Chains A and B, each alone.
Chain A
Amino acid sequence: EPEVTQTPSHQVTQMGQEVILRCVPISNHLYFYWYRQILGQKVEFLVSFYNNEISEKSEIFDDQFSVERPDGSNFTLKIRSTKLEDSAMYFCASSERSVRGTSGSTEQFFGPGTRLTVL
């Protein structure tokens, strides 16, 4: 069964450093997403990406964050100048169609996540 993969599974970094979290979405999917989940809190939407550009982003996704699809398979989230409060689990997801579609909206498949720890 196809699946979304993410690397690394755990990233430890010093405050102020830049990190790049990597995701390989399911190959025939066109919509890609990043979410974060701070320990003990709810899943929060960060950004969605379609056709090589950001389609939606939340208030959390400020200038510190950027996303890129550098090639035909990878989808990355870059966090510049990390802060202690960026420590969280970051989930990548992909879907074949837009999650905002009509009845029968398609499923988002989530990767296993990257646990980011900022020291």
Chain B
Amino acid sequence: RKEVEQDPGPFNVPEGATVAFNCTYSNSASQSFFWYRQDCRKEPKLLMSVYSSGNEDGRFTAQLNRASQYISLLIRDSKLSDSATYLCVVVYSSASKIIFGSGTRLSIRP
């Protein structure tokens, strides 16, 4: 099983739709979780950290489920500018490893 796993997509949804991605991780010793977005041929940029209690930032909601070992990202009222690849990042404290998922591609159509 991969350490961090994401559905590669692509998710193709109409503007205004709600879309959600999950990311599963295999090591229960994980400590910190993040969602990044990466535009084509650009650097990753932090979208949001994921806190144990779940957190929201505008149209974006992130949640952590430690029991099932996954994190999720929900995007409401999607915009054309949300089209990107969304990367899940897990940091393992025990092995001090920073692991990126392979990303989920999202395409918003007008």
A residues near B97, Cβ cutoff 8 Å: 45, 56, 58
B103 partner, pick from A42, A48, A91, A113, beta carbons under 8 A: A42
Chain A residues lying within 8 Å of B44, measured Cβ to Cβ, are 43, 91, 110
Enumerate chain A interface residues (CB-CB to B < 8 A).
33, 35, 41-45, 48, 55-56, 58, 89, 91, 99-101, 103-105, 107-113
B1-27 interface mask toward A, CB cutoff 8 Å, 1 = contact, 0 = none?
Answer: 000000000000000000000000000
Which residue in chain B gives the minimum CB-CB distance to A45?
B98
User: A43 touches which one: B41, B91, B100 (CB < 8 A)?
Assistant: B100
CB distance from A55 to the nearest CB of B (A): 7
B43 touches A112 (CB 8 A): yes
* Cα–Cα, bound, A48→B102 (Å): 20
B99 within 8 A of partner (CB): yes
Given A99-B91, A101-B32, A42-B100 contact (CB < 8 Å): yes
